[in-house]
C-alpha cells in the first residue's frame, strides 16, 4: 500500500513456497509494535500507542492494518491491533501455515489484547 510499501508477509510466504518450502513448515511473524514513516523513524510498542491523543487512527484497507496520522493528516506510523491480527491469523489458518509468532509479548498492552487475539484466533475461538 501507499503507507506500508511493497514488501508483504504474503509475498514472503509465496516466495518460500515457490522455493519448495511446505506451508506447514512456515511461521508468520506478527509484530506487537508500530513502525514509523518519514517523520517518525522509530518503533513503538503497541501498549504505548493507546494513549497517543495527538494522533488519529485510520485504517489501511490494502495492507489491512491501522495507522496513525498527526494533526496535519500526515502518516506517522503503522502498527498491528486486534483487528489486523485477526486477519493475519485467518491467513495462517487459510493457507495451512505452521503458525504465528511474535517478538515479544512485552510490546502488548497490560490487558494482553494482542496475545489473547492471536491465541484465540489460531485456536479457532474467534
DSSP assignment of 23-85 equals GGG-EEE--SEEEE-SS--SEEEHHHHTT-TTSEEEEETTTTEEEEE-TTS-EEEEE--HHHH
pLDDT at 20: 98
Q: Which domain holds residue 16?
A: 9-122
Q: For residue 22, is it within any domain?
A: yes
Using the predicted structure, report yes or no on whether residue 126 has a pLDDT greater than 90: no
Q: For residue 3, is it within any domain?
A: no
Q: For residue 59, is it within any domain?
A: yes
Q: What are 51-71's pLDDT values in tens digits?
A: 888 899 999 999 999 999 999
Using the predicted structure, report yes or no on whether residue 38 has a pLDDT greater than 80: no
Q: For residue 4, is it within any domain?
A: no
Nearest to 31 by CA among 90, 88, 111: 88
Query: How many separate domains does the chain show?
Result: 1
pTM score? 0.90
Q: For residue 17, is it within any domain?
A: yes
Please give the Cα distance from 126 to 124 (Å, whole number).
6
Using the predicted structure, report yes or no on whether residue 114 has a pLDDT greater than 90: yes
Q: For residue 68, is it within any domain?
A: yes
Q: If pLDDT is split at 50, 70 and 90, which confidence band does 104 have?
A: confident
Please give the Cα distance from 79 to 117 (Å, whole number).
15
Average pLDDT of the chain? 90
Q: For residue 1, is it within any domain?
A: no
Using the predicted structure, report yes or no on whether residue 23 has a pLDDT greater than 90: yes
Q: For residue 117, is it within any domain?
A: yes
Percent of the chain scored above 70 by pLDDT? 91
Greater pLDDT, 85 or 34 = 85
Report in angstroms the alpha-carbon separations of 21 from 12, 13, 17, 60.
11, 9, 5, 30
pLDDT at 43: 86
pLDDT at 58: 96
Amino acid at each position: 500500500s501507499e503507507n506500508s510499501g511493497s514488501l508483504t508477509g504474503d509475498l514472503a510466504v509465496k516466495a518460500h513456497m515457490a522455493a519448495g518450502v511446505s506451508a506447514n513448515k512456515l511461521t508468520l511473524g506478527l509484530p506487537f509494535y508500530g513502525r514509523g514513516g518519514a517523520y517518525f523513524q522509530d518503533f513503538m510498542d503497541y501498549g504505548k500507542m493507546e494513549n497517543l491523543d495527538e494522533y488519529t487512527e485510520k485504517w489501511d484497507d490494502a495492507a489491512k492494518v491501522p495507522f496513525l496520522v498527526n494533526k496535519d493528516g500526515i502518516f506517522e506510523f503503522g502498527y498491528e491491533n486486534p483487528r489486523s491480527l485477526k486477519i493475519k491469523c485467518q491467513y495462517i489458518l487459510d493457507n495451512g501455515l505452521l503458525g504465528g509468532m511474535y517478538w515479544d509479548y512485552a510490546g502488548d498492552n497490560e490487558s494482553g489484547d494482542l496475545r489473547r487475539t492471536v491465541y484465540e484466533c489460531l485456536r479457532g475461538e474467534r
